[in-house]
Amino acid sequence: MIRNLLFYILLLLAVSGLNAENGHQLWLRFNKTKIDSQIFSGIIGDKNQFAVNEFQHDWNEMTGKYLPMVNAQTDSLLIIGTLNDKNIRPFGLKNELMKLGEDGYVIKTIHQNNKIVTIVASAGESGLLYGVFHLLRLIQIDKFSYNIDIVEKPSYKIRVLDHWDNLDGSVERGYAGRSIWKWDELPNVISPLYKEYARANASIGINGTVLNNVNASPKILSPEYLQKVKAIADQLRPFHIKVYFSINFASPSTIGGLKTSDPLDLMVKKWWNDKANEIYKLIPDFGGFLVKASSEGQPGPQDFGRTHADGANMLADALKPHGGIVMWRAFVYSASKDDRAKQAYNEFVPLDGQFKDNVIIQVKNGPIDFQPREPFSPLFGAMKKTSLMPEVEITQEYLGHSIQLVYLSTMWEEFLKSDTYQEGIGSTVARTTDGSIFPQKYTAIAGVANIGLDSNWCGHQFAQANWYAFGRLAWNNKLTSDQIADEWLRLTFSPKEKKAASFTNTDWEKNFLTPVKQIMLESREAAIHYSMPLGLHHIFAGLNNTHYGPGPWWAPKGVRVDWTPPYYHKADTFGIGFDRTHSGSDAVSQYHEPLCSEFNDVNTCPEIYLLWFHHLPWDYKMKDGRILWDELCYTYEKGLNEVRQFQKTWDKVEPYVDSQRFFEVQSKLRRQCRDAQIWKDGCLLYFQQFSKRPIPYDIERPVHDLDDLMKIKLNLKDHN
Amino acid sequence: MIRNLLFYILLLLAVSGLNAENGHQLWLRFNKTKIDSQIFSGIIGDKNQFAVNEFQHDWNEMTGKYLPMVNAQTDSLLIIGTLNDKNIRPFGLKNELMKLGEDGYVIKTIHQNNKIVTIVASAGESGLLYGVFHLLRLIQIDKFSYNIDIVEKPSYKIRVLDHWDNLDGSVERGYAGRSIWKWDELPNVISPLYKEYARANASIGINGTVLNNVNASPKILSPEYLQKVKAIADQLRPFHIKVYFSINFASPSTIGGLKTSDPLDLMVKKWWNDKANEIYKLIPDFGGFLVKASSEGQPGPQDFGRTHADGANMLADALKPHGGIVMWRAFVYSASKDDRAKQAYNEFVPLDGQFKDNVIIQVKNGPIDFQPREPFSPLFGAMKKTSLMPEVEITQEYLGHSIQLVYLSTMWEEFLKSDTYQEGIGSTVARTTDGSIFPQKYTAIAGVANIGLDSNWCGHQFAQANWYAFGRLAWNNKLTSDQIADEWLRLTFSPKEKKAASFTNTDWEKNFLTPVKQIMLESREAAIHYSMPLGLHHIFAGLNNTHYGPGPWWAPKGVRVDWTPPYYHKADTFGIGFDRTHSGSDAVSQYHEPLCSEFNDVNTCPEIYLLWFHHLPWDYKMKDGRILWDELCYTYEKGLNEVRQFQKTWDKVEPYVDSQRFFEVQSKLRRQCRDAQIWKDGCLLYFQQFSKRPIPYDIERPVHDLDDLMKIKLNLKDHN
């Protein structure tokens, strides 16, 4: 009996490959990727070169040994070096490399006299590191060949993660545990996580990090905290990651002892100049400031009757001598009667041309606030004499926290490829921000980080894909979500990890890669279907946290109406949706033709934005012939069924995944399914009170009562 | 605007017929049933006759006036009377009526000289009342015609409801609020509910009620409480309902001051004789005692080394002079090693022939305990010289409490029609208990009541159908569940109630009656599918109360194993099910051939009882070609989908039902669906730990984690 039991335990261990696999290694699973160690027979490179060391470290993890350092040609040689390196110069790449800039690189295989040479070269140290990671990636996923010829140059000069981490260790909109920045123990204690974090970011080309929340504590500017920032910066520097932080605009008065923080006040200017000097003395490569000012209660130049330009320029002047920049957020709106979606445009467009060249206006992808789907913010392309940088949200504030599997790359791809028409057809958001259309001294893109102390970094194993995707899109804003998902899955769930299992790579691609990639690619659309389809937005309540569950009914007295869902969905007995046409709030007019007319006309408005721009009767006829109410019902139902399909797909891939990650994802998908049901039931039962129509009878019925769902209370104290 | 609002409110009221409709009237909705008042033009009957008054009262509710009392022939005359009535005698029905007994009756229409006479006649007052209710029912549901010729005689002489109501007002296994018996205010205050209760029971032929829980307090025998019982009996008597109560076998020592309660002790006998005299002095038509003795910790004759026969006979002797009976329960089992399913048979069959003729052994339908599905108890037909009465459970202890819509008639029909083969083919349980096969002085059937103080009496509107069905089957054990459901639906949701609505009776039958009846008829099978399919039984845990949610895992240390689910399902890595074959517990041998062989052989054992009788490997091949594990999965899934289908059906009938009852049932179906999901997930995920096989991938995946479901604790303190 005991013997039998033992046998079963051993069998279980053997079958499920129970080596604890918590996902901490992210996509850098070199020690688990066994590769053909004969790809290269030797390496030429500077032993003291950081990129060379990174390569050797990872090569060793994959093959169990370092690649021999050689001086001369071998059968299959790898050369890693910058353009001035004596081993690179003979290849005549100087001009090409100069054009690619510090961060760009080439990876080429050259066949010479029956010998093969693979070169990784760059004009800069940073580019060399990126090139090395690129090469390693190719090897890891079996895409390396002796015929490669890769030339890479990043789309954006600055590729930055915004941490909404508070100095007390909490993370606003963080769903992966506490902040990785351990301010209490800094600068004396250095967590090994800082280097791991930097390496992971460098591996996908991220080159900056804003350490703290945009709702910033002035304390970050204190000498004490600057020492802590310096300690982090020292850890990140080898990986070519610059440190930035968010500042509180009122700092001169709150911690500087001044009577004002008026940006035109000479003492204030001096205070910031001095502060900049102090920072750069400690951190010579400090990146600059991120500023949320005169927004959602944060102090700002408007407190002193000044404009955003006045405020931003004052800071820009202080940073300019040191090469620093100001990322000034355009996320502003007030409780005025004007449509919230219009306010940022109305406030910033008149300032076009007034900003210094080291100011970049950071604009959220949509005009409201990181909703599951929004049209792009009309600011993109509209400010032709000002640098603009997109801000996207990697942390899933509005897309299921770390509970739901939602791959965000498709959302960002949709956004980046949106055509603003501002400079003719093809004026995509990507091209209006990456320097292709408007000359900007700096180009940049920011993603709000989804990183915390959870052992898997992001709370959900698949949330790592969003971090990865942001980095890859920041590097190359033309990549497709399919390419990125493919790459990430191959790196993160490599078939090579389950050696014992009896499947081939082809099996793995067919039975794991293809179906799981399909989940990823469909996941954001599914989330829209079961939460806010057809252009609905911001109809959240609290379930376990804010901005998670449905709350279209949530509108307690005394709360600003623009913080309540009815402001956004406007459901009534006539119909549903926000009229932003010419006869409504006229937000459509902020879009360049032909978009303005397209959005304004209900017949040409894309149905994905229908209720964003139009208030329509419940029996409005959709393109598929259904009435709007029915379409809404079928779409919520579809979303729920999509999650059920994800569950089926995931359960089937069990043989291809280590058990820990398999069960973690399985369990989260179950919760996602339950919550999709709550969304469907809550929204349909609530809106039905207005539509007064039955849910079509071929649709599965709600399993919750509206009264029960409405008991859930929303806590709106946090905002960004 | 205000005007618009008012318009909508009025429209809403008009459309949904919002007269509060809580279901308190049960199936006796005369005041809501408008009928053709020309059916009868006059009535002949004794004004002082209770049945005549009941008729006039209800006729008045239906037509708005009383039927004129006449002395002679009119166009369409109704005559109501007993066989000796001068208006009945001329019809020469005496012999026929005598054969039908006190409770039987005829309803006939006779055509004489272009005049029509409808007669309701009986040998007894009780039969006359039943006949009147039958006639009213026919009129209510449009089944009355001038060609009727009805002869009715009940299947069982005693048709009794067992209330598991405690003297403190609580109800064991009660899911409809507190007890209707208000002991505190009795005998001075008489709740109008008592008469309403009696009338409802009389309308379906129930003629007895056991007032208190079988786990009985001795206090019921105190002079104080006997006065209270008398007060109730006085209320029920006009409706021909006798009062019984459960006694505590230890009463002589606990309240009588004797040193023992030994049934062979002369003082004990005398005590019971005296007590009987005391009772009958107050209540001359007292029915008798219900006794749970030497069962689940209750005192009994075995405490004194006596047999069940000794105990029952001693009480029978005390009651016999007064015409009272003893209903002695066979629900006995101990924590012995012997299969619980066998114990009652083993204990009682040897006593066959030893019981007095006014003792009836009350036997639960199945050998375990009112499970969703059990084979019939092998005691039926096996005790050939003893009166046996079936006990069924109307309250849904194991079938979803008052949360789930489960129509139990199909279960009872299956049970009553089960062939015991004890006296050849056709020895159904019905025939072995109703006097058709064995001569018994008394025949009886008991149902554990599902009645409480909830305004709709039963907690769930559709639980009323179970009360109704029990009464109807007790009256006629050959009725089909379809007939009963049809009758109940027509009475309870009459199409005549929604006059404003624009549908015909045909519409109503097609769109309401047929689909809702289908829900009812499928509901118990669905409940089995999602909770305990294929012969599984007693695998409950606590959800909001005991015996509600799934708990196949529940087996804390120190709890009697026969009170834990693993005792019943016996799941292990080999397979699942309780081996009751010859090579197992041999419970099959308690069944008469050919059942014994049929159940013993896995190839002939009906699959509905498969895991009741067999422990089978997970890959056992089912008749449909699936392996057992897969079949289990598909069946749980089917059960969940059946509930979803019930929801669809119910939602569609909204136009045909008053809004209060519609929404009540809708809300409960939603909960039922959520709980069916919990059953499916809990059982499949738990059993999967043993089967080690995937849930077939075309099945919708679980949405709960087993760990979460297992956190629910079961409270097993109550037992019956």
Model pLDDT for residues A626-643, shown as the tens digit of each residue:
999 999 999 999 999 999
B157 close to B121: Cβ distance less than 8 angstroms = no
**Dist. CA B252–CA B265, nearest whole Å:** 11
Each residue's pLDDT tens digit, B127-165:
999 999 999 999 999 999 999 999 999 999 999 999 999
pLDDT (0 to 100) of residue A557: 86
pLDDT (0 to 100) of residue B713: 56
pLDDT (0 to 100) of residue A332: 86
* Active-site residue flag, A296: yes
Partners of B646 in beta bridges: none
Q: Which of A75, A274, A296, A651 is catalytic?
A: A296
In this prediction, residues A381-389 reach a mean pLDDT of 97
pLDDT (0 to 100) of residue B504: 87
| Mean pLDDT score of chain B | 94
How many CB atoms neighbour CB A125 within 10 A? 16
- What is the DSSP code string of B331-389? ----SSSS-HHHHHHHHHGGGTT-S-TTEEEEEESSSSSS-SS-PPPTTTTT-TTSEEE
Tokens 């070519």, residue?
A240
| A695 part of contact set with chain B, CB < 8 Å | yes
**Least confident piece of the model among A398-412, A492-506, B652-666:** A492-506
In this prediction, residues B314-319 reach a mean pLDDT of 98
Tokens 């990823």, residue?
A520
pLDDT (0 to 100) of residue B495: 82
Q: Cβ contact (<8 Å) for B670 and A700? A: no
Q: Cβ contact (<8 Å) for B701 and A669? A: yes
| B673 part of contact set with chain A, CB < 8 Å | yes
In this prediction, residues B531-557 reach a mean pLDDT of 85
Tell me how many degrees the CA angle A509-A515-A521 measures, rounded to the nearest 5: 115
Tell me the two tokens of residue A531.
């939460």
- What is the DSSP code string of B489-517? HHHHS-GGG-TTS---HHHHIIIIIHHHH
pLDDT (0 to 100) of residue B225: 98
**Least confident piece of the model among A1-10, A28-37, A393-402, B45-54:** A1-10
In this prediction, residues B265-272 reach a mean pLDDT of 98
Q: Which domains does chain A have, with CATH numbers?
A: 30-152 (3.30.379.10), 158-479 (3.20.20.80), 531-578+615-709 (3.90.1330.10)
Which chain A positions have a beta carbon within 8 Å of B700's beta carbon?
Answer: 644, 647-648
Tokens 């291809």, residue?
A656
ipTM of the complex model: 0.90
Statement: residue A715 has pLDDT above 50: no
In this prediction, residues B511-531 reach a mean pLDDT of 98
pLDDT (0 to 100) of residue A4: 53
pLDDT (0 to 100) of residue B503: 83
pTM of the model: 0.93
In this prediction, residues B57-61 reach a mean pLDDT of 96
Each residue's pLDDT tens digit, A420-477:
999 999 999 999 999 999 999 999 999 999 999 999 999 999 999 999 999 999 999 9
**Dist. CA A708–CA A705, nearest whole Å:** 5
| A663 part of contact set with chain B, CB < 8 Å | no
Each residue's pLDDT tens digit, A65-113:
999 999 887 889 999 999 999 999 999 999 999 999 999 999 999 998 8
Q: Which residue in A701, A705, A706, A710 has the most chain B C-beta atoms within 10 A of its own C-beta, making it the best mutation to test that interface?
A: A701
pLDDT (0 to 100) of residue A498: 63
Interhelix angle A193-203/A223-236, rounded to 10 degrees, is 50
In this prediction, residues B340-360 reach a mean pLDDT of 97
How would residue B14 be classed by pLDDT, with cut points 50, 70 and 90? very low
Percent of chain B with pLDDT over 90: 88
pLDDT (0 to 100) of residue A71: 85
Tell me the two tokens of residue A607.
């149905």
Percent of chain A with pLDDT over 90: 88
In this prediction, residues B183-197 reach a mean pLDDT of 97
Q: Which of B651, B697, B704 sits opposite A701 (nearest CB)?
A: B651
Q: Which residue in B663, B703, B706 has the most chain A C-beta atoms within 10 A of its own C-beta, making it the best mutation to test that interface?
A: B703
Each residue's pLDDT tens digit, A533-542:
999 999 998 5
Q: Which of B674, B698, B705 sits opposite A703 (nearest CB)?
A: B674
- Cα A398 to its chain centre, rounded Å, is 13
- What is the DSSP code string of A455-494? TTSSSSGGGHHHHHHHHHHHH-TT--HHHHHHHHHHHHS-
**Collapsed DSSP state (helix, strand, coil) of residue A8:** helix
Which chain B positions have a beta carbon within 8 Å of A654's beta carbon?
Answer: 694
**Dist. CA B456–CA A263, nearest whole Å:** 72
Tell me how many degrees the CA angle A639-A644-A649 measures, rounded to the nearest 5: 120
Q: Cβ contact (<8 Å) for B705 and A654? A: no
How would residue B494 be classed by pLDDT, with cut points 50, 70 and 90? confident
Q: Which of B573, B651, B673 sits opposite A697 (nearest CB)?
A: B651
| Mean pLDDT score of chain A | 94
In this prediction, residues A23-35 reach a mean pLDDT of 92
Q: Which of A102, A347, A369, A497 is catalytic?
A: A369
**Dist. CA A295–CA A437, nearest whole Å:** 29
Statement: residue B9 has pLDDT above 50: no
Q: Which of B8, B651, B705 sits opposite A670 (nearest CB)?
A: B705
Tell me how many degrees the CA angle B650-B654-B655 measures, rounded to the nearest 5: 140
Q: Cβ contact (<8 Å) for B701 and A673? A: yes
Tokens 């913010």, residue?
A377
Interface size A-B, in CB pairs within 8 Å, comes to 59
pLDDT (0 to 100) of residue A714: 43
Minimum distance, in Å, between the CA of residue A709 and any CA atom of chain B = 13
Tokens 């709890």, residue?
B559
Each residue's pLDDT tens digit, A307-321:
999 999 999 999 999
